[in-house]
Structure 1
Amino acid sequence: TATHFLPTYDSHPEEIPGVRENLENNDVAAAAARIHEYLERENNIPLNIAITGVAGSGKSTFVNAFRGLSNDDEGAAPTGVRETTSEVTPYPHPNNPNVMLWDLPGIGTTKFPAKKYLKLVGFEKFDFFIIISATRFTENDVKLAQEIQKMKKKFYFVRSKIDNDIQAERRRRDFNEEETLTEIRDDCVHRLRGLGIKSPQVFLVSSFELHLYDFNLLQQNLDRDLPKNKRDTLLFVMPNINPEIIIKKKKAFQSKIKYYALGSAAGAAVPLPGLSIAVDLALLVGAVTHYVFAFGLDVPSLKRLSAKTGVPYTALRAVIISPLAAAEITKELLFKVMTHVSSFATLIVAEEASRFIPFIGIPAAMVLSFTTTYKFLNVILSELAEDAEKVFEKALGQLIVLNRAPQTTCILLEINCDTSKKHK
Structure 2
Amino acid sequence: MSMQDPNDSFPEEIAAIKEDLENNDTAAAAAKIQEYLERQNNVPLNIAITGESGAGKSTFINAFRGLSNDDEGAAPNGVTETTMEVIEYPHPNYPNVKFWDLPGIGTTNFPAKKYLKLVGFEKFDFFIIISDTRFRENDVNLAQEIQKMKKKFYFVRSKIDNDINAERRKKDFNPEMALIKMKEDCIGGLQKQGVKSPQVFLVSSFELHLYDFSLLHQTLERDLPAHQRDALLFAMPNINLEIINKKKEAFQSKIKYWATLSAAAAGVPVPGLSICVDLSMMVNVAVDYVAGFGLDKPSLERLSASSGVPYTELLEVLKSPLAAVKITKVFLLKLLTQLTSTAALMALEEGSRWIPLIGIPLAAGLSFTTTYRALNYFLTELADDAQRVFKRAVGLNTSV
What TM-score, normalized to structure 1? Answer: 0.87
Q: 1:327 to 1:41 in 2, by over 3 A?
A: same
RMSD (CA atoms):
2.4
CA positional deviation for 1:40: 3.2
Q: 1:6 to 1:184 in 2, by over 3 A?
A: closer
CA positional deviation for 1:17: 3.9
| Structure 1 segments (4+ residues) deviating >6 Å | 11-14, 32-36
298, 322, 340: which one aligns with 2:296: 298
Aligned to 2:318: 320
1:214 matched to 2:179? The reply is: no
Q: Which amino acid aligns with 1:60?
A: S
Q: Which amino acid aligns with 2:63?
A: A
Aligned to 2:119: 121
Q: Say if 1:36 and 1:263, in contact at 8 Å, map to a contact too.
A: no
Q: Say if 1:132 and 1:159, in contact at 8 Å, map to a contact too.
A: yes
Aligned equivalents of 2:8 and 2:166: distance in 1? 59
Aligned to 2:26: none
Aligned equivalents of 2:42 and 2:272: distance in 1? 29
Q: 1:105 to 1:290 in 2, by over 3 A?
A: same
What secondary structure sits across from 1:96 in the alignment?
Answer: coil
Q: Say if 2:67 and 2:302, in contact at 8 Å, map to a contact too.
A: yes
Q: Could you report, residue by residue, the CA deviation over 1:41-73 in whole angstroms, capped at 9, with x for unpaired residues?
A: 211111111100011100000000000011111
244, 247, 252: which one aligns with 1:246: 244
Aligned equivalents of 1:212 and 1:271: distance in 2? 55
262, 287, 290: which one aligns with 1:289: 287
Aligned equivalents of 1:50 and 1:222: distance in 2? 13
Q: Which amino acid aligns with 2:175?
A: E
Provide the identity percentage: 66
Aligned equivalents of 1:129 and 1:12: distance in 2? 46
187, 190, 200: which one aligns with 1:189: 187
Aligned equivalents of 1:242 and 1:91: distance in 2? 24
Q: 1:143 to 1:324 in 2, by over 3 A?
A: same
Q: Which amino acid aligns with 1:250?
A: K
CA positional deviation for 1:28: 7.6
**How do 1:125-136 and structure 2 match up within 5 A?**
125-136=123-134
1:7 matched to 2:3? The reply is: yes
Aligned to 1:357: 355
Q: Say if 2:7 and 2:264, in contact at 8 Å, map to a contact too.
A: no
Q: Could you report, residue by residue, the CA deviation over 1:349-379 in whole angstroms, capped at 9, with x for unpaired residues?
A: 0110011111221111111111111111001
What secondary structure sits across from 1:51 in the alignment?
Answer: strand
What secondary structure sits across from 1:100 in the alignment?
Answer: strand
More moved, 33-42 vs 78-87: 33-42
Unaligned runs of 5+ in 2: 23-28
Q: Say if 2:44 and 2:97, in contact at 8 Å, map to a contact too.
A: yes
Aligned equivalents of 2:88 and 2:148: distance in 1? 24
Aligned to 2:234: 236
**How do 1:3-402 and structure 2 match up within 5 A?**
7-8=3-4, 17-18=11-12, 38-397=36-395
What secondary structure sits across from 2:46 in the alignment?
Answer: strand
Aligned equivalents of 1:225 and 1:196: distance in 2? 22
What secondary structure sits across from 1:132 in the alignment?
Answer: strand
CA positional deviation for 1:332: 0.9
Unaligned runs of 5+ in 1: 401-411, 413-424
Aligned to 1:409: none
Aligned equivalents of 1:193 and 1:35: distance in 2? 51
Count of residues in correspondence between the two structures: 390
Q: Say if 1:92 and 1:100, in contact at 8 Å, map to a contact too.
A: yes
Q: Could you report, residue by residue, the CA deviation over 1:110-144 in whole angstroms, capped at 9, with x for unpaired residues?
A: 11111111111111111111110111111221221
Q: Which amino acid aligns with 1:101?
A: F
What secondary structure sits across from 1:90 in the alignment?
Answer: strand
CA positional deviation for 1:19: 7.5
What secondary structure sits across from 2:127 in the alignment?
Answer: strand
Q: Say if 2:262 and 2:277, in contact at 8 Å, map to a contact too.
A: yes
Q: Could you report, residue by residue, the CA deviation over 1:379-405 in whole angstroms, capped at 9, with x for unpaired residues?
A: 11000000000011111107x9xxxxx
Q: Could you report, residue by residue, the CA deviation over 1:215-261 in whole angstroms, capped at 9, with x for unpaired residues?
A: 00000001111112210011011111110000000000000111211
Q: Say if 1:13 and 1:262, in contact at 8 Å, map to a contact too.
A: no
CA positional deviation for 1:84: 0.7
CA positional deviation for 1:29: 5.1
Aligned equivalents of 1:227 and 1:100: distance in 2? 17
CA positional deviation for 1:210: 0.4
CA positional deviation for 1:311: 1.1
What secondary structure sits across from 1:91 in the alignment?
Answer: strand
What TM-score, normalized to structure 2? Answer: 0.92
